[in-house]
Amino acid sequence: MGIPYYYSFRNLWTRRLTTILTASGMALVVFVFAATLMLAEGLRRTLVETGSWDNVVVIRKSAVSEVQSGVERLQAAIVETQPEVAIGADGRPLLAKEMMVLINLPKRGSDKPANVIIRGIGPSSLALRPQVSLKEGRMPRSGSAEVIAGASIAKRFKGGGLGETLHFGMRNWTVVGVFDAGSTGFSSEIWGDADQLMQAFRRPVYSSVLFKLRDPGSFTVVKQRIESDPRLTLEAKRETRYYLDQSEAMAKFLSILGIALTVTFSLGAIIGAMITMYAAVANRIVEIGTLRALGFNKRSILGAFILESLFLGLLGGVIGLFLASFMQLITISTMNWQSFAELAFSFSMTFAIAWKSLVFSLVMGFVGGVLPAFRAARMNIVDALRSS
Amino acid sequence: MRSEAAEGRTVIVSIEGLSKSYRRGNQIIPVLQDVSFTIAEGEFLALMGPSGSGKSTLLNLIAGIDKVDTGSILVGGADITSLSEAELASWRAIHVGFIFQFYNLMPVLTAFENVELPLLLTGLGRKERREHVEMVLNVVGLADRMDHYPSQLSGGQQQRVAIARAIVTDPEILVADEPTGDLDRASAEDVLTLMDNLVHEFGKTIIMVTHDPRAAEKAHLIRHLEKGFLSQ
Ligand SMILES: Nc1ncnc2c1ncn2[C@@H]1O[C@H](COP(=O)(O)OP(=O)(O)OP(=O)(O)O)[C@@H](O)[C@H]1O
Ligand SMILES: [Mg+2]
């Protein structure tokens, strides 16, 4: 048995002020670390919830999103005939040929323009998206200049509310309904009849075809058939995968930002911990000499000081996590970098993030404590005892 | 010298041709020069001499916390100068008890925990450790203070806790470097009486460095160090 853990622990308690100050530095870093992970997780969650596992999105090969994609009418018709497409209660295939454009609309209050997604939908579009439901009003009639707006659009954009009028595509559009899409990306979209919108925007092609699988397991088969058909230059993805891919750039950006911030900050925190631990060693030279004289070996001394530093890191980690957990109350609205439309999401804490943060704080504690601990362990016994 | 110390009793410490010097920059300071003597088991020996004469150095060498230049030190028949650093640490844990001038208790540990420390290096279980600690705290008369921290104890009490820590593993020799140097007369008297008891009742061997003639009086035998040479 080595030096008991409570020796390390009580020494931290004895110099509480220094301990708290040093741990605060680490807490700040853990906070930034956890918050970035929570942001990436929140983004991922929003985007994954946007899609359904048994839905398939068909877009042009190598197009990352619907905005860059084009699906010709003939190609869409071929996709429609695939036997794996589920059939709805009304006997029609659960499939929607959709068109998507990105436009600028002025916001309420500030009049500042922001990007908005306009989605041309088909009769099955709503049925294909169980996370979307009409909250107020009714669905647009086909062949009319009517649209429905996502809740977030209705709230934040001029003319987006129920009964109001939006102007785009050189026409006026009446908002006849508001739909609720939870925290998914659809909340920031405007939906109208696909044919009407394609005319208004002079677009001859669809952007995507979305359909539900009759059997979720048949995805590989239909993907294979669509992608190898020489008439089609299309690509099929599960809807969940499709939205995850869209978040990739943002997730990458967030993780680079997170790493850059965390590394810079953690250098400071580690140096702080190192200074504290060097001071702790300097204040306890006689104690160290005594422990060695009593028969504790170098490894015990090393262990005791590293443990002390690990406790310090853990304390910082717990404080940082505690603070970061409050970030869950905040909702962030930002650009979706792929579609350049507004996207609202929140920080989301998971068990994995919590333990990653704690491991990270322990690593900081270890790195900060290892050099001072080695100094303590390598001290000459007689010199240490003479320094009283 | 040897015959006098031995006098029919078992020799516990045997020092032969011991030399030690320190290096300060490129200057070599000889501290001990060709020191030879023996200490009998159950001896209470006082080492005296002027400041800087090498008393502490000699004590540290016998206790196995410093390295000799030349010569040998046999404690209980084993040559400790041939042990590696790790072996020496284990050896000290079993065979030597330390008593310091400034007690050197861990301020964050209670009296009980301080005394228990050396036992953590033995294979003893929790219950046995508690028994041992309570027993030695009784011996030094501080059983009622075992939950006190050093800062809550007087100097004399702290030194008695330190003595309890030194004897808890039942080592053969106790080394004490000016154990009364920081105590008032009454406390010093208590500590010396206690040490005397350890020799008489428990058969310990004590090697004590001291400047205090009153302390030396308690010892059976006084040796003088003078500029690195041993005299009577
Ligand atoms: N680690 C060291 N490095 C350099 N010199 C040392 C060291 N330890 C002791 N010395 C020198 O060795 C000599 C003897 O020291 P030592 O501590 O043994 O003396 P002492 O007899 O115990 O003196 P005091 O009565 O003052 O405690 C002194 O001159 C001291 O300066
Ligand atoms: Mg000395």
Q: Is B89 in the pocket of ligand 1 (CB under 6 A)?
A: no
Q: Is B24 in the pocket of ligand 1 (CB under 6 A)?
A: yes
B205-209 β-sheet, strand order: B96-99, B173-177, B205-209, B44-48, B221-226, B229-231
- Of A178, A127, A128, the residue nearest A153 (C-alpha): A178
Three-state secondary structure call for residue A171: strand
pLDDT-derived band at B3, boundaries 50, 70, 90:
very low
**Domains in chain B: boundaries:** 6-231
Q: Which of A10, A294, A299 to mutate to probe the B interface, most B CBs <10 Å?
A: A294
Pocket perturbation via mutation, ligand 1, pick of A379, A380, A382 by most ligand atoms within 8 A of CB: A382
Q: What would the pLDDT profile of B97-147 be if each residue is shown by its tens digit? A: 999 999 999 999 999 999 999 999 998 999 999 999 999 999 999 999 999
Q: What would the pLDDT profile of A179-218 be if each residue is shown by its tens digit? A: 998 767 788 899 999 999 999 999 999 999 999 999 988 9
Indicate the angle between helix axes A298-325 and A5-14, nearest 10 degrees. 60
Contact A286 B60 (CB under 8 A): no
Query: What spacing in Å lies between the alpha carbon of A192 and ligand 2's midpoint?
Result: 95
Residue A188, token pair as written in the block: 């920031």
Q: Is B52 in the pocket of ligand 1 (CB under 6 A)?
A: yes
Ligand 1, atom 3, residue with closest C-alpha = B22
Give the closest of A6, A14, A297 to B86, CB-based: A297
Tell me, what's the pLDDT at A66? 80
Q: Which of B55, B80, B108, B122 to mutate to probe the A interface, most A CBs <10 Å?
A: B108
Beta pairing, strands B44-48 & B205-209: parallel
Q: How many CB atoms lie within 10 A of CB A72?
A: 16
Contact A293 B92 (CB under 8 A): yes
Of A153-162, A295-304, B172-181, minimum mean pLDDT range: A153-162
Q: What would the pLDDT profile of B151-166 be if each residue is shown by its tens digit? A: 999 999 999 999 999 9
For residues A103 and A29, give the distance between their C-alpha atoms in angstroms, rounded to a whole number.
39
Of A23-32, A105-114, A320-329, B140-149, minimum mean pLDDT range: A105-114
- Contact between residue A230 and residue A92 where contact means Cβ atoms under 8 Å apart: no
Mean pLDDT score, A274-296: 95
Taking CA–CA distances from B109, the nearest residue in chain A reads A7
Q: Which residues of A touch B85 (CB under 8 A)?
A: 298
Tell me: ipTM over 0.90: yes
* Helix ranges, A69-158 (H): 73-80, 151-156
Contact B100 A290 (CB under 8 A): yes
- Cα B82–Cα B84–Cα B85 angle in degrees, nearest 5: 130
Residue A358, token pair as written in the block: 């704690």
pTM to 2 decimal places: 0.80
Torsion angle of C-alpha atoms B87, B92, B95, B96, degrees rounded to 10? 160
Give the closest of B65, B85, B104 to A382, CB-based: B65
For residue B144, the distance in angstroms to the closest alpha carbon of chain A comes to 22
Size of interface A-B (CB pairs under 8 A): 71
Q: Is B53 in the pocket of ligand 1 (CB under 6 A)?
A: yes
- The CATH fold assigned to B6-231 is Rossmann fold (3.40.50)
Contact B108 A11 (CB under 8 A): yes
Residue A341, token pair as written in the block: 């439309």
Q: Which residues of B touch A386 (CB under 8 A)?
A: 56
For residues A99 and A205, give the distance between their C-alpha atoms in angstroms, rounded to a whole number.
8
Q: Is A387 in the pocket of ligand 1 (CB under 6 A)?
A: no
Tell me which DSSP letter residue A91 carries.
Answer: S
Scan for tokens 């205090």, then name that residue: B212
Query: What spacing in Å lies between the alpha carbon of B177 and ligand 2's midpoint?
Result: 7
For residue B65, the distance in angstroms to the closest alpha carbon of chain A comes to 6
- Of A357, A350, A275, the residue nearest A313 (C-alpha): A357
